[in-house]
Structure 1
């Protein structure tokens, strides 16, 4: 599966911080019901065995909804479960090496904070970029802020789709209008909400407006 621009409209990143009595599977299914267009499994705490098991289940769920499924950082697990692809940060494995391992038909996403990083990632085979944090975020302690000016410059500098990430919510997503992004990536704006289906639906409608503006 290759990456279509429209698949990146509402890119949803998992986080077990807000599970409560729910399972990650049920949370992801609610996001998919609400209209999430892309799912990234992000696990920082679990051992590989558990992640592998979870990845297999969520991959099947995404397949049912015809939504791309990628693994954050862990190339080995992405290959083991035959995920649609993998997303790597600047401190993870270098994009060119990841592309060699996963092959040309899988999706490769790369995080970028500068025009230089963005251009290099595209050159090394990235299919899309995750750029941020565009707003201050509590989800990623190491996320450097990216100004909206830099976000625009990155969108102009590359020909691959750009997804904005970091601190985005229904209250500020419209501020990204006219930046050139094709979508947003969120965690708490969906998974920390009491009604995940409703939160996803509302956010998707707003994002569509912001992207078209």
Structure 2
């Protein structure tokens, strides 16, 4: 995956906003996001048919604006709707197995917090790694303790060269530190999804990380 597409990586499901998710996504794209991940999780998430309907609606918006559309965890949904990629966690099957189930053009991202997890992702031919939490976050109820930007520095120091996206508690105030540590992009949920004006929030972040 072209690492430039990971620069401002927005993640959202219906549970992450009080607004219409489609409108939030449109605003985020207008503000300058470079990639989108559909992550429908938790008790407030939509189910089954509604989830697929929402995924297709958001995918259509991304297609219109040439924004990569990644599905979190759900390989079957990703293949069914023709997503651009899938993002998996440590509790899922390895990237090497996922790649056998998806078309060749689809990318696979893997959440990797430790060096061992990152090395395994590289061996399994992951296209990029998402690592964190960078900072404390309220967007994921099961989030681990923060590893900070130093976690990315360590991965780079020990030879991890594939694209890395930092995630977890990232805001305008700390995004630059994550990139300076060696990340190719920053991944955010609430900093955009819960902003009163998602377009303005995304634009501010995009301008900040271009400095």
Matched, 1:35 2:32: yes
Matched, 1:195 2:193: no
| Aligned residue pairs, count | 206
Match of 1:206 among 201, 205, 208: 208
Could you tell me which residue of structure 1 aligns to residue 183 of structure 2?
181
Asked if the contact 1:9/1:208 (under 8 Å) is kept, the reply is no
Calculate the aligned-residue CA RMSD, in Å.
1.4
- CA, structure 1 residues 18+112, in 2 after alignment: closer, same or farther (shift >3 Å)? closer
SS in 1 for 2:130: strand
- Displaced runs of 4+ in structure 1, greater than 4 A? none
Could you tell me which residue of structure 2 aligns to residue 91 of structure 1?
91
- CA, structure 1 residues 18+161, in 2 after alignment: closer, same or farther (shift >3 Å)? closer
SS in 2 for 1:101: coil
Structure 1: distance between partners of 2:147 and 2:13: 22
Give me the TM-score of the superposition, normalised by structure 1. 0.92
How far does residue 56 in structure 1 lie from its aligned partner after superposition?
1.2
Asked if the contact 2:16/2:189 (under 8 Å) is kept, the reply is no
Structure 1: distance between partners of 2:50 and 2:132: 29
> What do residues 30-57 of structure 1 show as CA deviations (whole Å, max 9, x unaligned)?
1001011000000012212111111111
